[in-house]
Structure 1
Amino acid sequence: MGRNEMRRWLGVLGAVFLAGCGAEAEGTAPLGCAATAVEGIEVAATDGAGASGYTLGYAPHAMAGCLLVYVHPDGSLRARDLARGTEETLAAAAEAPRRPTAFGGVVAWEAVEAGRRVVRVRVEGATRTVTGDFDHAGEPRAAGDGVAFTGWRAADEAGDTDVFLYEPGNTSAGVVASGPGQQRFPDVSGTHVAYADFAEDVDGRFDENETDAADVVVMERGTGKMTRRTRPGKQAFPLLGADGRVVYLEWGPLHPEPKFSAYTLIVGGVHEDGETDVAVVDIETAQPYVRPTARGAWIEWVQWPSGGPATLHRQSADLAADATVVTGMQGGELHAPVAGEGMTLVAARGVGGAMVIRAAER
């Protein structure tokens, strides 16, 4: 099956899936799938890689239409149909599932299999472990017709990594970005893949030390054309969800970097060369690893000054208007913003210290 034919069928499957959840039309929130349906659902307070928080900002929850995929406090990965109120377990806690991502009819996550990290993909109710020319894998991001992820060529976490793309229907994933040093933190859309390239770094890898340096690269899926957005310092964690835009984080040339507790948000046209990319806002968070989200017409991020409350901010992706604070999304702690078609989720510290979902309509 060719890629265009595969995209057509996955689009049909996604539409059928959303219709089953009561969707009115493509790109709209399903009827009955309101933000109130997710308010207060408890999620894991850590991704298992550290004492607390979500390492590198990967969220414990994802949204696709009316499907909420989340890591439960007991460590299992669950999928809840918000319209019907039904829930199923996608992965047991023993598999250490984390970092779920979902789009259309595609769901993916990290897990541990035989002592190695793997990426699992679920389409049409069937789950498979993605294989390819790598030792282990992680950092998945889903589009409606594929999943991009990082693959480690050897067991060494500090070793060479490349970016892979798995398209449902294929037997394995293929390399879409390679080269000297590490290529990591991809995102994917129906037309592009974006990633951080650490080839310019003195040791060629991401390790949060005083010398980290990287550029964001955007690749056209149809042609393979690569556009490197060359800027001083480190740029990483690109997002492709906003209409016609690539959004990414920048730390500039100053070192040591503040380990994800302060960065600049950069926005540019996904089809452009990066020369006109714009610095939109300087972001500060009291805790590290609170990354922005981008979907459709909006870009959103958390501002969280030290000693002050956290607030969710929203700005149009075309930058035609100033950012605003999202009503009702203020609190002592806000983590892991993730945008779906009709709502944006955050993880907030609830009563008794539990981490619970809060949501705002988009």
Structure 2
Amino acid sequence: MSELRVTSLTKSFDGQPVLHGVDLSVEKGTLLALLGPSGSGKTTLLRVLCGFERADGGTVEIDGVRVAGPGVHVPSEARRIGYVPQEGALFPHLSVADNIVFGLPRAQRRARYRVDELLALVGLPAAYGERAPQALSGGQQQRVALARALAPSPSLVMLDEPFSSLDAALRIETREAVATALAATGATAVLVTHDQSEALSLGREVAVLWQGRLVQMDTPEAVYRRPVSRELASFVGDAVIVPGSVIPGDSTHVRCQFGTLPIACSIDAGAVDVMIRPEQIRITDDGEVHASVEKVVFYGHDASVMLRSDAGSHVLQIRVAGHSYPRVGERVALSVEGDVVVYPGI
């Protein structure tokens, strides 16, 4: 499989910029999750990488070969990219096997080249090759779409929100099968998604696109635990943000309503906003902050608890284990576990 290099990529539609100088690097064999809210430019970036759209500026290189740049636009069919769209887009008049070999040379189509192997790779029995796509579940159809994308041994695999139309249980099962298949082939892949849990659980690296700009690219843990902005913190999971101040002479601690807390990255003294993940806030016997329970939403494995803090009457959201959540009206003491992230005060 190949590596992908994107440099200063720009794209506009009708004079409206959509991509603003995007720089992106995906190493061989890596699954990169490209995360961003709707309208951030994710699909446009994917379409430019695939060659479906022509870049306005910048370059795209696949395994050292430039496929887009000044005076260069290699057509999509010549880029050797496997593409899995949102709905799978299988041909209903062809069998599963014929769908898988559709993009191969005629002799390989007739021989149904590697069909059994590819079905096994995506976790489906060989007998499914004779079925019509509409006889399969949505998750099975997405696996067939991946098998079709892998059939020509592409340089890269691009997945455009391939699990968005599936229900929750099927989505988890299907994405695990897809991740296993990609890992088994050593594929270099880019997964476009707006689902934070999907990006964090599947991507070896996560790149966050925000209003057409790549604002952070790092490991899933770093993107979640140390987001570069308040907005990103609230997008990648839930965030509790409270005012605080960095202690003069000690750039590694911040003072806020939860007491003195360690900071993940040091910052100059002054007023700041403190970002705490809900699961860091614990109900304890000796916490420095007291609050009243206003609402509990039970999810089974855990529960979301809304609290009104005595300190400044802030409303806080925390997450607790499903077997030990407090009751509405109960008074509790709170403490924070682990370090926190701070942003300069506005």
Same fold (TM over 0.5): no
More helix by share: 2
More strand by share: 1
Name the TM-score, length of structure 1 as normaliser.
0.28
Higher relative contact order (CA 8 A, sep 6+): 2
